[in-house]
Amino acid sequence: YLYIRVMVNVPKSYLILFSTGAYTASQGINCIREDVASYIERRDGGVPADPDNIYLTTGASDGISSILKILVSGGGKSRTGVMIPIPQYPLYSALISELDAIQVNYYLDEENCWSLNVNELRRSLNEAKAYCNPKVLCIINPGNPTGQVQSRKCIEDVIHFAWEEKLFLLADEVYQDNVYSEGCQFHSFKKILYEMGPEYSNNVELASFHSTSKGYMGECGYRGGYMEVLNLHPDIKGQLVKLLSVRLCPPVSGQAAMDIVVNPPVPGEESYSQFIKEKESVLNNLAKKAKLAEDMFNKVPGVHCNPLQGALYAFPRIFMPSKAIEEAKAHKMAPDMFYCMKLLEETGICVVPGSGFGQREGTYHFRMTILPQIDKLKILLEKMKDFHIKFLEKYA
Amino acid sequence: YLYIRVMVNVPKSYLILFSTGAYTASQGINCIREDVASYIERRDGGVPADPDNIYLTTGASDGISSILKILVSGGGKSRTGVMIPIPQYPLYSALISELDAIQVNYYLDEENCWSLNVNELRRSLNEAKAYCNPKVLCIINPGNPTGQVQSRKCIEDVIHFAWEEKLFLLADEVYQDNVYSEGCQFHSFKKILYEMGPEYSNNVELASFHSTSKGYMGECGYRGGYMEVLNLHPDIKGQLVKLLSVRLCPPVSGQAAMDIVVNPPVPGEESYSQFIKEKESVLNNLAKKAKLAEDMFNKVPGVHCNPLQGALYAFPRIFMPSKAIEEAKAHKMAPDMFYCMKLLEETGICVVPGSGFGQREGTYHFRMTILPQIDKLKILLEKMKDFHIKFLEKYA
Ligand SMILES: Cc1ncc(COP(=O)(O)O)c(C=O)c1O
Ligand SMILES: Cc1ncc(COP(=O)(O)O)c(C=O)c1O
């Protein structure tokens, strides 16, 4: 699909500007970085974006990995602390461990729709200062696995906190096009940073990430992505470019795919109406499925599911009977892992236990995507409900 | 070009087996790993290859980086030493420094066509043992920047040495299809390891790397590659798979490109004759240009160039007049950097100073590719000769 779009839609001049067969500049192809900057300006209502601050990456994973590599340093008590949400997307814990940095957990507030509370950030930071040097604050918005969309007020609070504490903000915004709930809206950290005035926009260090893998296109196989990096010290920027150039460049097809994502058909273009139809159909379907999953899970006794405001996942909490917890322990398994294995064995449905993402001690969850077609998703949810009721009976 | 081949040549079943739009298994698409294994078996005259030991990568760079990450550990005197050739391809020194490992240099023998001498390996290893724990031995064959092709005898010696010293062998064989000199032949480490018998093939740990970026296809932009890893301890293999899965998977188009490289048209297929014609034309031209560069450089006074046996580069030695060296030092520049900058300013020709790759103290080189078309290469070499003669006169 994307190949065809590349060939049908892209201005002819591109065929001259780059070849898919050659290495490109390590930071990415110039004209694509310009398109990304224009996209960001449109998205953020005119806040300026500089192509020089844009880096094309091999998926968002690669960008996040590169930035963390640049920021992590020191040994002993001066080891770099990296604050991450719990529950988190496990790329973060893995990279922190690869880099021998210190993982500093802050907990999302499940009682308040997985929102991010600055008091909790402060608690977490202050405790961490005793044993490491916390320098980086990671936010995933919309959230994976938790599916929340942070409010404008919350993002302002986080930016103020980062400014106060001189933390480098890492905003994982790969689900920026996946927002479903009424009254929810995606606010980019970049935009709010600028709206808070020059004291913030000239000082707070921010890297934000996007990807071809999510949104309404969901082209994961291309491994396209970009990051926009603000207020990076010129010396550090030099280091970053050096680091990237060692690995030569991101795959050209991924760069081209990123270009397609930020440069969709516009009114007047031949494929515009087809594009809008497909886009709306994908997003409307996801919104329906988000609501469906939330409603179904909340009808099941012993399950609670926050609204799926964005991203592609449900992350319901399951209240496990103590007999089930005991049996899990007898099998040397985390209770939610035990639950997910039973579900798999009995229904063939595979979901990921909450312990893979982190969760408050004594709470249990699992993550499920809402990607299956709506009819299949209904059947799936029915089966999970039946399984859960039987599970409760068995371990009552 | 490659896209067309993918679409025209690949068996129909592939269109079912994978989609370019989805993540794949982290180790790479199964059927492509099977094709890679078959390729290796054909290349190595029947020595068996197991698809389970094949990992598809985002270019060879990514494979080399992953393997080194898995092998490097320890602090202080037990920091991991990684032996690399000097001159080297700078990915190696950069990765070693990223990983906080110790770079252990062994020098290639310029007087003997940049061959690899086991006595020099032994000297280097023994000296390194005093300050680190040397665990890895990297070989680049055919060489970048040096363009040599190692003899069968030399590879046997290296394998025996690695076996004796329990070193993990890292064979960078991305130029395996780029061999030009009469009497030279590419021998894979894997093949020779097996031919040396089970004591070696069951014990020596070996990772070998290949890429879509070189050969006669030279499709750099796809970032396709593979590595074959032998005798890796199962626990370490588990770690490797975990490491790879954090980053999800290599780009699918790169995996497909790798498949094309290992699976070229065969007799009877529609595009076979066209393929052979193009392949031979590319390789014959490279061979001609390799000879041309060698001959031209050796006609210039104060320049010596070893035969370009393989890869894509000339790495001539330049004998710099002491006045030029002094002037370079006055400008705080490495003498060969000074030379290359002057060349760039006066002719517009850009080559890379030897100091970027490492060279014996007091010797000076530069690296030039032989990729320009033959007519252009002739003009280029003439201009370089004229520049060099004037340079010698100026600093006589
Ligand atoms: C929150 C989050 N960040 C980053 C990524 C990485 O995406 P990619 O590397 O495919 O762009 C993912 C993928 O699932 C994700 O959920
Ligand atoms: C010796 C050597 N190894 C590895 C690479 C990396 O190639 P790639 O990552 O494009 O496969 C190169 C590229 O120039 C090389 O010369």
Q: What is the per-residue pLDDT across A46-105, written as a single tens digit (0 to 9) for each? A: 999 999 999 999 999 999 999 999 999 766 678 999 999 999 999 999 999 999 999 999
Contact B147, B110 (CB under 8 A): no
Instruction: Indicate the average pLDDT of chain B.
Output: 92
Q: How confident is the model at residue B17 (pLDDT cuts 50, 70, 90)?
A: low
Would you state the pLDDT for residue A78?
86
The one-letter amino acid code at A108 reads: L
Q: CB of B172 closer than 6 A to ligand 2?
A: yes
Q: CB of B371 closer than 6 A to ligand 1?
A: no
Cβ-Cβ contacts under 8 Å for B157 (sequence gap 6 or more)? B118
The SS3 of residue B49 is coil
Q: Does domain A2-262 have CATH number 3.40.640.10?
A: yes
Q: How confident is the model at residue B247 (pLDDT cuts 50, 70, 90)?
A: very high
Average pLDDT over residues B334-339: 96
Q: How confident is the model at residue A18 (pLDDT cuts 50, 70, 90)?
A: low
Q: CA–CA separation, B81 vs B100, rounded Å?
A: 10
Q: Pick from B22, B58, B219: which is nearest to A220 by CB?
A: B22
The SS3 of residue A63 is helix
Q: Where are the alpha helices (DSSP H) in B221-299?
A: 234-246, 252-262, 272-299
Whole-model pTM over 0.95: no
Q: What secondary structure letter does DSSP report for B167?
A: P
Condensed to tens digits (0 to 9), the pLDDT of residues B167-211 reads 999 999 999 999 998 889 999 999 999 999 999 999 999 999 999
Residue found under tokens 């089966």: A383
Average pLDDT over residues A373-385: 95
Q: Does A292 touch chain B (CB under 8 A)?
A: no
* Domains of chain A by residue range: 2-262, 277-394
Q: Among the atoms of ligand 1, which is closest to the Cα of residue B247? A: 9
Condensed to tens digits (0 to 9), the pLDDT of residues A145-169 reads 999 999 999 999 999 999 999 999 9
Q: What residue ranges in B141-223 does DSSP mark as E strands?
A: 168-172, 206-211
Q: Does A249 touch chain B (CB under 8 A)?
A: yes
Q: CB of B255 closer than 6 A to ligand 2?
A: no
Cβ-Cβ contacts under 8 Å for B248 (sequence gap 6 or more)? A59, A61, A220, A223, B23, B26
What separation in Å is there between the alpha carbon of B351 and the centre of ligand 2?
A: 18
Average pLDDT over residues B356-365: 96
Contact B137, B108 (CB under 8 A): no
Identify the burial level of A321 via C-beta atoms within 10 angstroms of its C-beta, where 0-12 means exposed, 13-18 middle and 19 or more buried: middle
Q: Among the atoms of ligand 2, which is closest to the Cα of residue B175? A: 1
Distances (CA, A) of A246 to A27, A335, B92, B382: 11, 44, 9, 32
Q: CA–CA separation, B363 vs B366, rounded Å?
A: 11
**Strand B313-314 versus strand A168-172 pairing type:** unpaired
Q: CB of A225 closer than 6 A to ligand 1?
A: yes
Instruction: Supply φ then ψ for residue A378, to 5 degrees.
Output: -60, -50
C-alpha distance from A218 to closest chain B C-alpha (Å): 7
Distances (CA, A) of B363 to A114, B2, B106, B107, B343: 63, 41, 16, 13, 18
Condensed to tens digits (0 to 9), the pLDDT of residues A332-376 reads 999 999 999 999 999 999 999 999 999 999 999 999 999 999 999
The class that CATH gives domain B277-394 is: alpha beta
What separation in Å is there between the alpha carbon of B360 and the centre of ligand 1?
A: 45
Condensed to tens digits (0 to 9), the pLDDT of residues A41-54 reads 999 999 999 999 99
Top residue of A6, A20, A99 to mutate, by most chain B CBs within 10 Å, is: A20
Cβ-Cβ contacts under 8 Å for B46 (sequence gap 6 or more)? none
User: In angstroms, how far is the first alpha carbon of chain A from the final one?
Assistant: 50
With CA atoms as reference, report the closest residue to B278 among B218, B337, B322: B218
Q: CB of B248 closer than 6 A to ligand 1?
A: yes
- Angle at CA of residue B207, ends B203 and B213, nearest 5°: 160
Q: CA–CA separation, A271 vs A1, rounded Å?
A: 13
Chain B residue with minimum CA distance to A89: B246
Q: Pick from B23, B90, B251: which is nearest to A254 by CB?
A: B251
Q: Whose CA is nearest to atom 1 of ligand 2?
A: B144
Would you state the pLDDT for residue A106?
98
Tokens for B163?
Answer: 């076996």
User: Using CA of residue B81, residue B85, residue B90, residue B92, what is the dihedral sign?
Assistant: negative
Condensed to tens digits (0 to 9), the pLDDT of residues B150-166 reads 999 999 999 999 999 99
Q: Does A260 touch chain B (CB under 8 A)?
A: no
Q: CA–CA separation, A293 vs A145, rounded Å?
A: 14
Condensed to tens digits (0 to 9), the pLDDT of residues A263-295 reads 999 999 888 999 999 999 999 999 999 999 999
Average pLDDT over residues A118-122: 97
Q: Does B219 touch chain A (CB under 8 A)?
A: yes
Q: Does A241 touch chain B (CB under 8 A)?
A: no
Is B277-394 in the same CATH topology as B2-262?
no
